[in-house]
Structure 1
Amino acid sequence: MRTRRGISYPNMCCEKRRTDTNIVEEKTIQSRKRLKLSSGTPAVTVSGQSDILDTLPDDILLLILAKVGSTAACPADFVCVLSTCKRLNTLGVHSLVLSKASSKCFAFKSKNWSESAHRFLKQCSDAGNVEACYILGMIRFYCLQNRGSGASLMAKAAVKSHAPALYSLAVIQFNGSGGSKKDKDLRAGVALCARAAFLGHINALRELGHCLQDGYGVRQNIAEGRRFLVQANARELATVLSTTPSAVMSGNCLTWNPLPHLRHGNVVGPGCPLLSDFGCNVSAPEPHPSNRFLTDWVSDKALTPGLRLCSHTGCGRPETRKHEFRRCSVCGAVNYCSRACQALDWKMRHKMECTQAERWVDDGDGEVNVNINDDDGMVAES
């Protein structure tokens, strides 16, 4: 039978069969790309070029991706690798890779926060990544107002001896965050601080030292408290010296100002909380990605009326209820979530701004304390 153009149906069917055969042959060639040849030579693509990546087994690629995730300097470093091809994108969400990702892989900016970022952090936390558990817990607790889920994620990281999570839970217990003033548990806060301090957390060491000095949630022991404060300063100095390149240390970043009028913060640039007391000027330690996210979140989205932000720039914690944080008992212009943040901000900034700075005293251990009342040098608000 012929059509108007003179083409018979049987010929058309043969042409269709030839086309189907070509498609099958192309698919067969493409599937051979992923087969490793017995001779060990890389497979050859249709274009004649060798594709070494397709010859690597999945185990080796998983180890490579895990190394990339653990050494990434920002989320883009890890995401760009996953977006290279479909195979890397599939292997990149393996539990082995996600469990090894560093905290810098989760250093999201608040303006880039999305459901996909939330889902990625959740996948990493489910894979057992303690940094993802802590960062997602902080975001849920302080930003998304999901207190129970956020606290449980931080507790999951704390069980695995994650020092920042232990300290954050201690701050929550000291302030009764997410609840009322009656929900404060000072003894639990001191126990969490002690555990974080044992793991070497500097802020926890400083907080525990103030608690022992003031008898806050624990029996007063001034000598032991001063020992913890000196230990916190020593660890802080060691951290600064180990993370600052030698080229920077020998330049203008580390300077000495022996004159008395230059020893109290009149140094250009951000000063280290410890070394600024002695006239030195080095870069302040970089805040944790979770604290940087909290700071950006509050700056992008206004706080609920009546709530305040911790005045220490490296903290970023907002209040979860009115009058949760305590204010400076001298000027009353600043407020802090903890005495560790108070001590750090005092040395970095507030020493030059407090209107009645002469009422503060230095105990000679590198820590500046308040001798206003018998509590902790801050006025608790009800």
Structure 2
Amino acid sequence: MRTRRGILYPVAGAPTMNSRKRLKLSSPGFNFFNILPDDIVLSILVRVGSTADCPADFVSALATCKRFNDLGLNSVVLSKVSAETFAMKAESWSACVHRFLQRCSDAGNVEAAYTLGMIQFYCFQNRRNGAALMAKAAIRSHAPALYSLAIIQFNGSGGSKNVKDLIGGVILCARAAFLGHIDALRELGHCLKDGYGIGKNITEGQRFLIEANARELAAICSKHSSGFMSGHRLRGANPAVTCSHLISDFGFNLPPPKSHPSNRFLASWFADRIPDPALRVCSYAGCGRPETRMHEFRRCSVCGVNNYCSRGCQARDWTMGHTKSCSPSVRVLNINAGAQ
């Protein structure tokens, strides 16, 4: 029997559409994953990529099935992939890795743009493309990219000594400091105290150095909240007098901070392949930046042995153990050995 719209009434005992669907869903071997909408699968992959702790976490998800592999390379997913997904070692570098980083960068992933920019600038001496990729991340308020560009401007990396742009470096450093970058805060504080690229303002420089120490201590306490403060106390009453000191100078045993994946890649890349033996690598193990010309980096003013690309790396290395090995006698011994 038909209705006015021409639709047949269900025959008694015949399975309806819902009952047929239930029969199909309950049939053995039915895959519920196939009926999930693509939007849900994409949201799952975005979550996996944004929380990945290593490249294998994301790669193993893509290798699960063809659908994951196809949707995992969607621009929505690639734009949200975490920085640790790009934490590959130097021996793992290949054309496929380069294409993946470039694809993530084209999708709008600032971490991929920054990582690929650092590799291009320092490892392959492609200064123009590397700086452009870092600038692409810096425009999106990526603090490490802003600070790296500031280091390039301060040192004149990739050019002669005369191409240094101290004012540009201060502006980039101030932007990174505004975003809470600890090394940028410390660098800006020293620039203000020394009048380096900016008008000299000792009081304001001291304020930035105090804020850098406070942020560093807060970051460490948040990661190591249990038992870190026990057995430690600050020595020194006036913070205005000791503001240029580091947290480690007050008796704190600081755990080594985790470097950005791009810095870890540079450290492994230049561990055994310095393009020029006369060029030096930053003495802070967590940096990995090499000199782009001779005598680009600053020497430690006490021992004269260690070289640093920035004040931030010098402060990090001092905290990590240079305070114990730094001695004027080391420099005297090296000078005497060179004279002989």
* TM-score, with structure 1 as normaliser: 0.75
1:201 aligns with 2:181: yes
Show the counterpart of 2:310: 338
Say which of 223, 227, 231 aligns to 1:256.
Answer: 231
Show the counterpart of 1:324: 296
Task: Please list every run of 5 or more consecutive structure 1 residues that lacks an aligned counterpart in the other structure.
Answer: 1-36, 261-272, 358-382
- How far residue 55 of structure 1 moved from its aligned partner, in angstroms, is 1.1
- How far residue 130 of structure 1 moved from its aligned partner, in angstroms, is 0.5
Native 8 Å contact 1:42 1:55 kept in 2: no
Say which of 101, 117, 120 aligns to 2:81.
Answer: 101
The percentage of counterpart residues that share the same residue type is 62
Show the counterpart of 1:78: 58
Q: Could you say what secondary structure the match of 1:349 adopts?
A: helix
Between the aligned partners of 2:72 and 2:232, the Cα distance in structure 1 is: 51
- How far residue 41 of structure 1 moved from its aligned partner, in angstroms, is 7.7
Q: Could you say what secondary structure the match of 1:179 adopts?
A: coil
Between the aligned partners of 2:285 and 2:169, the Cα distance in structure 1 is: 23
Task: Tell which structure's C-alpha radius of gyration is larger.
Answer: 1
Q: Could you say what secondary structure the match of 2:326 adopts?
A: coil
Show the counterpart of 2:277: 305
Native 8 Å contact 2:166 2:197 kept in 1: yes
Between the aligned partners of 2:256 and 2:187, the Cα distance in structure 1 is: 19
1:61 aligns with 2:33: no
Between the aligned partners of 2:173 and 2:234, the Cα distance in structure 1 is: 37
Between the aligned partners of 1:236 and 1:259, the Cα distance in structure 2 is: 15
Between the aligned partners of 2:20 and 2:304, the Cα distance in structure 1 is: 76
Alpha carbons of structure 1 residues 257 and 239: separation in structure 2 relative to 1, 3 Å = closer
Task: Please list every run of 5 or more consecutive structure 2 residues that lacks an aligned counterpart in the other structure.
Answer: 1-18, 236-244, 330-340
**Number of residue equivalences:** 303
Native 8 Å contact 1:291 1:316 kept in 2: yes
Between the aligned partners of 1:126 and 1:120, the Cα distance in structure 2 is: 10
- How far residue 256 of structure 1 moved from its aligned partner, in angstroms, is 2.9
Show the counterpart of 1:184: 164
1:171 aligns with 2:124: no
Between the aligned partners of 1:43 and 1:230, the Cα distance in structure 2 is: 64
* TM-score, with structure 2 as normaliser: 0.84
- What whole-Å deviation, never above 9, does each CA across 1:95-130 have from its counterpart, x for those lacking one? 000001010111111111111111110000000000
Alpha carbons of structure 1 residues 259 and 136: separation in structure 2 relative to 1, 3 Å = closer
Say which of 100, 108, 111 aligns to 1:128.
Answer: 108
- How far residue 157 of structure 1 moved from its aligned partner, in angstroms, is 0.4
Amino acid in the other structure paired with 1:315: C
Say which of 245, 254, 257 aligns to 1:285.
Answer: 257
Q: Which moved more, 1:183-192 or 1:304-313?
A: 304-313
Amino acid in the other structure paired with 2:130: G
